[in-house]
Amino acid sequence: MKRWHLLGVLCLLSITSARAQEVPETPFLHNFLATSDSFRQDRLNMVLGAETVVYSAAVYALYQYWYKDIPSEPFHFFNDNKEWLQQDKAGHVFTAYFETNLTTGLYKWTGMEPHKAYWAGFATASIFQLTIEMFDAYSEKWGFSIGDFAANTLGAGLSLSQNLLWDEQRIQVKFSQHFPDYANYDPIVRQRAQSLYGTAGPEQLIKDYNGLTTWISVNPYKFMRQDTWWPKWLMVSGGYGANGLLGGFENYWCTDPLIRPEECLPQNRIDYTEVPRYRQYYLSLDLDLQSIETDSPFWNMMFELLSIIKVPMPTIEFNGDGRVNFYPLYF
C-alpha cells in the first residue's frame, strides 16, 4: 500500500524540524545536538514526547487522507503480494529501515546504552508501521497484509542486525524519485495517472510508483582492510523500480473507484492492459554521506538524514522487457 511513503516523509519533516531549527551551530546548539556521554532522562522524555506528537499527527493525517471515506469491516486479511509489481513492498522495507535508523539515533542521543537504543529503535519503527497494517486490517478496501508486515520487519531488521553486528550501517536502503511523463498516453490513461499519483510535484514525489526506485547501497570499504585502495565514501548500489503501473494487479480499473478492479463487472471496466507493465533493475555508484567526518553534530545529523536519498550517479538499467539503457546521471 502507498501509505508507507507518506508516513516516512511526515516523520522525516517533523523530526528534522524538531532537532534542527537553526543552521548556524552556536555553542548551545552544538551541546544540544551532541550525543550525551551518559543517560539523561530529560532527553528521553523529550524524545518520547516528540515521537508521541509525530506519531499522533501521522496517524491522524493517514486516517484523514486514506481511510476516512472507506467503509470499515471486522479484522480480515488481504493478499496484495502481487500488487504494484512489489513496488509497495520495497517501499515498506525502505520506510521501516529509515524509521529504525532515525529513532535509534534519537535514543542514542539521550545517552542510552547502544544495544538498548538499537532494540528501542527497532520496536518504535515496528509499532509505527504496524499501525498502518491495522488500519488496513479493518478497512473494506484493503486488509491485513502479511507481505507488508514481512517487508516492515525486513527493513527494521536490516537496520537492527547491522547495528548489533558492526555498530554502523554498511548496507543502506535508499530511494530516488523522478517524475514520469504521461503526455504520450491516451487522455483516459493520463486521467488515471493523475487520479492515482496526483498532478503536483510534491504529491507525485510521495505517490508515483512509476518514478520510484528503491536502492541497496553497499560500502565495500567497510568490509576491507583500512589500507585498501577503495575510497571510503564510494558505494556500489543496486536499484529496483517498475513502469507502466496503472493499477495494482493489472492495467484495468472500474468506473466506480470504490470497487476493486477484480470485483468489477466487465462492462464497467476500463481496460488498458495493452500498456506494458515491467520491472527495472539498476546498477550504479553512490556516495556514503555518513563517511564524511566532521566535528559538527549538526552536520553529522544532516548527513545521516540525507543518506536516505540515492545520489545521482552514472547508472545502467536492465529492463524486464530485455532492454538495457545507460544514464550519465540517474535519479
pLDDT tens-digit readout, 316-327: 999 987 889 999
Cβ–Cβ under 8 Å, residues 75 and 137? yes
Domain range for 93:
1-168
Please tell me whether residues 56 and 95 are part of one structural domain: yes
Are both 207 and 102 inside the same structural domain? Answer: no
pLDDT higher than 60, residue 3:
no
Q: Say how many domains are in the chain.
A: 2
| Cell numbers describing residue 279 | 520491472
Whether 245 has a pLDDT exceeding 80, the answer reads yes
Q: Is the pLDDT of residue 166 over 90?
A: yes
Query: Which three three-digit cell numbers place residue 278?
Result: 515491467
**pLDDT tens-digit map of 94-132:** 999 999 999 999 999 999 999 999 999 999 999 999 999
30 shares its domain with 42: yes
| The three cell numbers locating residue 152 | 516492515
Nearest one of 89, 101, 195 to 133, comparing CA atoms: 89
Same domain, 160 and 188: no
164 shares its domain with 104: yes
Q: Which of 145-159, 183-197, 254-268, 303-317 has the lowest mean pLDDT?
A: 254-268
Does one domain contain both 13 and 158?
yes
Answer yes or no: do 163 and 188 share one domain: no
110 shares a domain with 231: no
Examine the fold and report which residue of 117, 148, 168 is the final residue of a domain before the chain moves on.
168
Residue 317 has what DSSP assignment?
A: E
- 214 and 79 within one domain: no
Residue among 99, 87, 90, 88 nearest 9 (CA): 99
- Looking at the structure, do residues 81 and 112 belong to the same domain, yes or no? yes
- Whether residue 220 is predicted with pLDDT greater than 80 in this model: the reply is yes
292 & 326 share domain? yes
Domain boundary among 102, 136, 168: 168
